[in-house]
């Protein structure tokens, strides 16, 4: 029963992440900077409610006395804001396909950072997978119409974010996310105050959006809570396989719902990344079984 609940929670989390471009495009009339600001503010409010319901404010007080943990959370918050902002601009500007490529690349980018920064040793299969993915991105770069900067920026920023979250002094997931969002909430809150004071806030000036904008926080926090439930109940290898649901859904939405075009170079890039991910996932499954996980 616990395993089934974990699978259901994991699928729900990645389906929400994958399908989120639909929501963001419904409110695409809101400029990305303002949209990011509202997303952060509502995420902080919802996280505060969740922490209050779970009576976890004591953990926050302990974290406040740990400077290194706070510094890591502030740095992670800056990376997360960069990732969120670029994601919002991309999915509301006709770049959903490239966003999906970025999140396909992300696991392999995390591996590359592990090698470069943490000096981790790779298996032969993983080295082959990373090389194939690099070849695909290289072809997209030199044979495509433009440099895939959106995909690479999303992959690098989120991989760096993940690297910070894996540090020994990193805050617990829920409390850490609140600190990260709160770090960004101060400047974006001031930005919103300026917009509202100058009557330039699209959300405030348009009464129709008031009922939709709070969902920006819900669609941010809900999948993270569901992911936490999944991670506690199913093996990490299973969670790793489920993560490809989100970019797959995004790719389908970009091509079929929003009719974005895919060039030959991009198709080669996607095919290379899919092959690399297949090798990477298979190697992970074999290693998990060998270690009894």
Contact 227, 9 (CB under 8 A): yes
SS3 per residue for the chain: CHHHHHHHHHHHHHHHHHHHHHHHHHCCCCCHHHHHHHHHHHHHHHHHHHHHHHCCHHHHHHHCCCHHHHHHHHHHHHHHHHHHHHHHHHHCCCCHHHHHHHHHHHHHHHHHHHHHHHCCCCCHHHHHHHHHHHHHHHHHHHHCCCCCHHHHHHHHHHHHHHHHHCCCCCCCHHHHHHHHHHHHHHHHHHHHHHHHHCCCCHHHHCHHHCCCCCHHHHHHHHHHHHHHHHHHHCCHHHHHHHCCHHHHHHHHHHHHHCCCCCCHHHHHHHHHHHHHHHHHHHHHHHHHHHHCC
pLDDT at residue 237 in the model: 61
pLDDT at residue 249 in the model: 94
pLDDT at residue 140 in the model: 78
Query: Does the model's pTM come out above 0.85?
Result: yes
Contacts of 81 by beta carbon, 8 Å cutoff, 6+ apart:
36, 40, 184, 188
In order along its 293 residues, the chain shows pLDDT tens digits of 777 888 898 899 999 999 999 999 999 999 999 999 999 999 999 999 999 998 888 888 888 889 999 999 999 999 999 999 999 999 999 999 999 999 888 888 887 887 788 777 778 888 888 888 888 888 877 776 778 899 999 999 988 988 888 788 888 888 888 999 999 999 999 999 999 999 999 998 887 888 899 999 999 999 988 887 887 777 766 777 788 889 999 999 999 999 998 888 888 888 988 898 888 878 777 776 766 55
Residue-range domain boundaries for the chain: 2-291
pLDDT at residue 148 in the model: 86
CA distance 250 to 103: 9
pLDDT at residue 264 in the model: 85
pLDDT at residue 54 in the model: 86
If we measure between CA atoms, which residue out of 27, 12, 40 comes closest to residue 186? 40
pLDDT at residue 110 in the model: 80
CA distance 251 to 100: 6
pLDDT at residue 144 in the model: 66
């Amino acid at each position: 029963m616990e395993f089934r609940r974990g699978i259901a929670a994991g699928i729900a989390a990645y389906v929400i992440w994958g399908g989120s471009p639909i929501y963001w495009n419904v409110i695409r009339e809101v400029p990305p900077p303002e949209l990011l600001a509202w997303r952060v503010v509502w995420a902080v409010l919802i996280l505060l409610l969740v922490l209050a319901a779970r009576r976890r404010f004591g953990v926050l007080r302990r974290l406040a006395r740990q400077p290194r943990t706070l510094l890591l959370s502030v740095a992670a918050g800056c990376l997360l804001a960069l990732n969120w902002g670029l994601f919002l601009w991309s999915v509301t500007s006709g770049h959903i396909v490239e966003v999906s490529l970025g999140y396909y690349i992300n696991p392999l980018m995390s591996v590359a950072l592990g090698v470069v920064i943490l000096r981790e040793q790779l298996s032969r299969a993983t080295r082959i997978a990373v090389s194939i993915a690099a070849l695909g991105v290289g072809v997209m770069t030199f044979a495509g119409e433009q440099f895939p900067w959106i995909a690479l920026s999303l992959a690098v920023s989120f991989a760096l974010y993940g690297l910070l979250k894996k540090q020994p002094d990193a805050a617990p997931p829920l409390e850490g996310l609140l600190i990260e969002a709160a770090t960004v909430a101060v400047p974006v809150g001031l930005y919103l105050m300026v917009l509202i004071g100058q009557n330039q806030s699209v959300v405030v000036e348009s009464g129709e959006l008031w009922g939709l904008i709070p969902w920006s926080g819900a669609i941010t926090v809900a999948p993270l809570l569901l992911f936490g439930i999944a991670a506690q109940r199913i093996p990490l290898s299973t969670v790793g396989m489920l993560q490809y649901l989100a970019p797959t859904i995004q790719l389908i939405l970009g091509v079929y719902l929003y009719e974005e075009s895919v060039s030959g170079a991009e198709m080669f890039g996607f095919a290379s990344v899919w092959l690399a991910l297949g090798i990477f996932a298979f190697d992970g499954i074999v290693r998990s079984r060998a270690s009894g996980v």
